[in-house]
Structure 1
Amino acid sequence: MSKLKIGVIGCGGIANQKHFPALKANADLNEIVAFCDTQKERAEKAAQEFGAPGAKVYTDYHELLADPNVEVVHVCTPNVAHCPITVAAFEAGKHVYCEKPMSHSTAEAEKMVEAWKKSGKQFTVGYQNRFRPEVQNLHAACMNDDLGEIYYGKAHAVRRRGVPTWGVFMDKAQQGGGPLIDIGTHALDITLWCMNNYDVDSVSGSVFYKLGSLQQATEGNLFGPWDPNTFEVEDSAMGFVKMKNGATINLEASWALNILESREASTTLCGTKAGAEIHSGMSYSKNELIYNRGRNNQLMEETLSPVGGVAYFGGGGGEEGTIDCRQWLEAVQNGTQPLVKPEEALVVTKILDAIYQSAKENKEVKF
């Protein structure tokens, strides 16, 4: 089978830390034939390092999409550009892997899903944390009913001080939001996927702009001091999600919060038979999965051998990204369903959008 011809739009941090290394690790299935970035030198550098012989460089994504040699497009741009590029890619007859979140708003995400359904092409969103071993184990346990009815969950995306100080992360116009949409999206995706529950009844939320504007709060930040004058997005956000069957989810997300435990891309699930917790983030040297239940008239905890996963910006191309990439390329080649379904990613965006809306309007948002 011939290699898939990939075009990458956006050659910044997430492309270099995740997509390029993952595609390179799966070179038997693909070759990158086109690179696009508004900064031509970034696209040229990526083409030299990761491109196939004769790879083309563009500064206008429309020109890349018009390239008949490109079969698959990876969208690695700021959030607000996800929708127009993805819709245009489907209209051009390309398969699309879009970075998380699907979009910064429900309306834009729905346009993407509509364009995908019309296109007949493959579509997935970059929730690679599903491929971490402990997440796979927990999902399998949930599907096997090991936890029983899961009626309460927590989605954890909390950094004590982990504000990204590069790129457009703090630019509200480019990203649509801060930690909620950036890292809260991963924790929520894991939680919903393991619960296998996407039927939302209502959402309430609070969004805080407390520490971002404080110069003294920058002390101890993992990525160095940020500029309080350009910190336009929230520094933390909390959400309460009620499902139609009565189950509930608490979502906590922060880049900066005065709290001891930094727990990110993690979930807590409580079921009628057992509970489970994933511990991951700055407070943990290695990822953990802990099951808890009663047995033989005693409370017991069961653990896996810890298997770590390093955040992409701490060092490139983790194993879960490579596995995610491979299953995506195989899905395109074989015409099968990618693990991350667009309909599921759409619900994640709807919930995040509703938390922002609830905080702004100070009321519950009904679905």
Structure 2
Amino acid sequence: MKHRIGIVGCGGIANQKHFPALKNAADRVELVAFCDLIRERAENAAKEFGAPDAKIYVDYHELLKDESIEIVYVLTPNVAHCPISVAAFEAGKHVLCEKPMAASVEDAEKMMEAWKKSGKMFTIGYQNRFRADSQTMKRMCDDGEMGEIYYAQAHALRRRGVPTWGVFTDKSQQGGGPLIDIGTHSLDLTLWLMDNYEPASVTGVTFDKLGKTLQPKDQGNFLGTWDPDTYEVEDAAFGFVTMKDGSLITLDATWILNSTEERCASSYLCGTKAGAELTGVGGSNNQKLYLNKVMGGKQVKIDVDTSAGGVDFFDGDSAEPKDLECKTWLDAIEGKGELVVKPEQAFVVTKILDAIYKSAETGKQIVF
């Protein structure tokens, strides 16, 4: 029996990640309902990815009335994550919600409460955990090869990378800019690798020097020009996160910064036995894992090649992160494995991001 899935939000992340992954899992799932405020987008998605009798909605409440739908994907702008997810739990559905969990910690708390009452499965779309380099680094951390990790850097640094589609620069829809959009991935990776989800205090700073002032001829944005008159979010955000055990995480998240380098979905870890860096820049061919340790009395930097095969003609599990994310989610629902991205973990990510914004706004340290 295939899982019957309803989709709420048929925009970029649905088409770029979730629809292709679900199509590759066609032997396990059936997409039976599509909802979007722009009806044409839902119709197009249904034609390409849906079951023959897939239904179209513009109101997610109507989709949730279908008792045959078992799983709901919430793939909307950030501020809509909370009301849709809460309603889905109340309707008795499993929920996969795109990152971040919510636009505010208050909304995230409502989602956690609804999930716990529902008894259903819940995960957040942090697909960078499923990269080959991330998986390798996680195993090394869990095996103690890094020792105690007491300092980390979470990087989501773009020199010019403003998304020029959708509502990314609309604060009322997204809740923020690069921090909540891409900083969330780097922070999630870093917390997960450290296996540390107990922040003690947060200090944050945001800047809006360029997004609201740079004219098209001066932007140099590889994703096309943006309108400075409708740019409502930060250019860059920086966080200083002290954990209860005394360890420290620094976080940078930028769409626009006059920097000489770029690091996206990147994490740099320093432990008592070794150090490591997940570069995370660009596609899978550009993602690198480097180790720093002492060997033969010398400090060395090791380039870890995670693509090396184990035997002739076999390269191991070569699935894309989006496919592994989908498989892990379905396996967990079927009782065949554990979730990799747990709600409690994603909640802490939102808690820290929210604190960085509040600290930047008030000029004060946020203490938990």
TM-score bracket relative to the smaller structure: over 0.9
> Who is 1:214 aligned against?
213
Q: Give the deviation of 1:334 after TM superposition.
A: 1.9
Q: How far apart are residue 284 of structure 1 and its match?
A: 9.6
Partner of 2:300: 300
SS of residue paired to 1:52? coil
Q: Alpha-carbon deviation of 1:285?
A: 5.9
CA distance in 2, matches of 1:215, 1:200: 36
Counterpart code for 2:227: D
Counterpart of 2:59 in structure 1 is 60
Following the alignment from structure 2 to structure 1, what is the Cα–Cα distance between the partners of residues 212 and 162? Answer: 12
Q: Given the superposition, is the C-alpha separation of residues 145 and 306 from structure 1 closer, same or farther in structure 2, using an over 3 Å criterion?
A: closer
Q: How far, CA to CA, are the matches of 1:278 and 1:170 in structure 2?
A: 28
Partner SS for 1:7: strand
Amino acid corresponding to residue 353 of structure 2 in structure 1: L
**How far apart, in 1, do the equivalents of 2:219 and 2:62 lie?**
44
Deviation of the 1:219 alpha carbon:
2.8
Aligned to 2:345: 344
1:250 aligns with 2:250: yes
For residue 336 of structure 1, report the CA deviation from its aligned partner.
4.7
**Cα distance in structure 2, aligned partners of 1:123 and 1:337:** 12
Q: Report the equivalent of 2:313.
A: none
* Aligned residue identity for 2:351: K
Instruction: Classify the secondary structure of the residue corresponding to 2:270.
Output: strand
- The question of 1:228 aligning with 2:228 is answered yes
Superposed CA deviations along residues 22-80 of structure 1, whole A, max 9, x for unmatched, are 10011111010000001111000000000011000000000000011211000000000
Q: Give the Cα–Cα distance (whole angstroms) in 1 for the partners of residues 90 and 190 of structure 2.
A: 32
**Counterpart of 1:142?**
141
Residue 228 to residue 290, structure 1, CA distance change in 2 (3 Å): same
Q: Secondary structure at the match of 1:54?
A: coil
Specify the SS of the correspondent of 2:260.
coil
Counterpart CA distance in 1 for 2:123 and 2:223 is: 30
Q: CA shift at 1:282, angstroms? A: 4.8
CA distance in 2, matches of 1:222, 1:97: 30
1:330 maps to amino acid: D
Q: Deviations over 1:282-321 (max 9, x none)?
A: 59961100000112111111222266xxxxxxxxxx8101
Report the CA distance shift for 1:284/1:146 in structure 2 as closer, same or farther (over 3 A).
same
Offset at residue 220 of structure 1 (A): 1.9
Q: How does 1:71-220 map to 2 (within 5 A)?
A: 71-216=70-215, 218-220=218-220
Alpha-carbon contact 1:179-1:237 (below 8 Å) kept = yes
Cα distance between partner residues in 2 of 1:94 and 1:125: 15
- Are residue 45 (structure 1) and residue 44 (structure 2) matched? yes
- Paired letter, 2:71: V
1:269-280 equivalence runs, <5 A: 269-280=269-280
1:3–1:30 CA contact under 8 A, matched in 2: yes
Cα separation, 2, equivalents of 1:285 and 1:162: 20
The separation in 2 between residues aligned to 1:283 and 1:212, in whole angstroms, is 26
TM (norm. structure 1) is: 0.95
CA distance, structure 2, for counterparts of residue 348 and residue 169 of structure 1: 19
Per the TM alignment, residue 215 of structure 1 is displaced from its structure 2 partner at its CA by 2.4
| CA distance in 2: counterparts of 1:283 and 1:50, whole angstroms | 25
SS where residue 334 of structure 2 aligns?
helix
> Do the aligned partners of 1:40 and 1:59 also contact (CA within 8 Å) in 2?
yes
Residues 111 and 283 of structure 1: CA distance in aligned 2, closer, same or farther (over 3 Å) = closer
For 2:182, give the aligned amino acid. Answer: I
> SS at the partner of 1:245?
coil
Cα drift, residue 214 of structure 1: 2.2
Match of residue 319 from structure 1: 320
Post-superposition offset of 1:216: 4.4
- 8 Å contact from structure 1 (residues 261, 283) kept in 2: no
2:121 maps to amino acid: Q
CA distance in 2, matches of 1:89, 1:47: 20
Kept in 2, the 8 Å contact 1:159–1:282? The answer is: no
Instruction: Give the Cα separation in 2 of the matches to 1:33 and 1:69.
Output: 9
**1:331 Cα deviation (Å)?**
0.9
Residue identity matched to 2:94 = H
2-structure distance, mates of 1:21, 1:121: 25
Once residues 98 and 285 of structure 2 are traced to their aligned partners in structure 1, the CA distance between those partners, rounded to angstroms, is 26
Partner of 1:315: none
CA shift digits 1:251-289 (9 cap, x unpaired): 000011100111000100000000000112259961100
Post-superposition offset of 1:337: 3.3
Q: Percent identity?
A: 59
Offset of 1:199 from its aligned partner? 0.8
Q: Conserved in 2, the CA contact under 8 Å of 1:124 and 1:342?
A: yes
Which whole-Å CA distance do the structure 2 matches of 1:302 and 1:28 have between them? 41
* CA distance in 1 between partners of 2:341 and 2:29 (Å): 20
Report the counterpart of residue 30 of structure 1 in structure 2. 29
1:257 aligned partner, one-letter code: L
Distance in 1 (CA, whole Å) between partners of 2:321 and 2:282 is 18
Match of 1:214, SS? coil
Count of residues in correspondence between the two structures: 356
Larger mean Cα displacement after TM superposition, 281-290 or 298-307: 281-290
